């Protein structure tokens, strides 16, 4: 049911540490912590001295990632209780950011999109953001009919949590909304929607 080759589909190339950056800011959620730990555990002291971390454990509590991040040796590690709190802190930090800052974002697709939107709202080119997908493939989906956004969608079609329409989850992605698009799958023949299929576990 998904259409291949849609150009707006995000591509996450993975973390490559920029050796020329004056400052490194890692914005992480859940299993996204592993993207940083895999690259910088035991890493160069000069890089860690310029590294700041914002982390929201999300559903990953109890896995020891918080302790591993704290033990990394970064200049600063800040734990957020929720993703909205983390994104607010990120927004405030970017208000006083200077040239030479490299931003790295890792976690679920919905989180990456929301963090990228915060950065782009401050004029950061999305091509300069270093991203890595970790964790669930669940999607953040906007209903094109009522404009409501549903988080953590794992099946298609699914019932819009706002207007109740059965929506086909498309691969079309909006960076402005940080969401995939969902369209009514049985608009011409109501009641004929196929059963949900798990596509984004």
| 154-197 per-position pLDDT tens digit | 999 999 999 999 999 998 999 889 999 999 999 999 999 999 99
Domain boundaries, the chain: 23-133, 139-198
- pLDDT tens-digit profile of 92-131? 999 999 999 999 999 999 999 999 999 999 999 999 999 9
DSSP 46: H
**Once rounded to an integer, what is the mean pLDDT over residues 35-54?**
90
CATH code of the domain made up of 23-133: 3.40.50.80
Question: Which residue(s) pair with 52 in the sheet?
Answer: 25, 76
CB 103 within 8 A of CB 119: yes
């Amino acid at each position: 049911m998904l259409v291949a080759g849609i150009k707006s589909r995000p591509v996450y190339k993975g973390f490559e540490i920029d050796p020329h950056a004056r400052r490194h800011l890692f914005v992480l959620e859940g299993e996204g912590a592993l993207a940083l730990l895999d690259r910088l555990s035991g890493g160069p002291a000069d890089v860690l001295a310029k590294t700041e971390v914002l982390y929201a454990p999300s559903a990953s509590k109890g896995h020891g990632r918080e302790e591993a991040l704290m033990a990394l040796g970064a200049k600063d590690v800040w734990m957020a209780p929720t993703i909205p709190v983390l994104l607010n802190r990120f927004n405030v930090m970017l208000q006083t950011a200077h040239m030479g800052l490299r931003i790295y974002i890792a976690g679920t697709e919905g989180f990456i999109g929301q963090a990228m939107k915060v950065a782009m709202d401050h004029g950061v080119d999305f091509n300069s953001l270093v991203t890595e997908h970790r964790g669930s493939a669940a999607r953040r989906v906007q209903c094109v009919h009522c404009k409501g956004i549903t988080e953590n969608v794992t099946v298609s079609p699914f019932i819009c949590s706002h207007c109740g329409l059965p929506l086909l989850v498309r691969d079309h992605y909006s960076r402005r909304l940080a969401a995939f698009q969902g369209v009514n799958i049985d608009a011409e023949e109501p009641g004929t929607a196929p059963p949900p299929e798990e596509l984004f576990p």
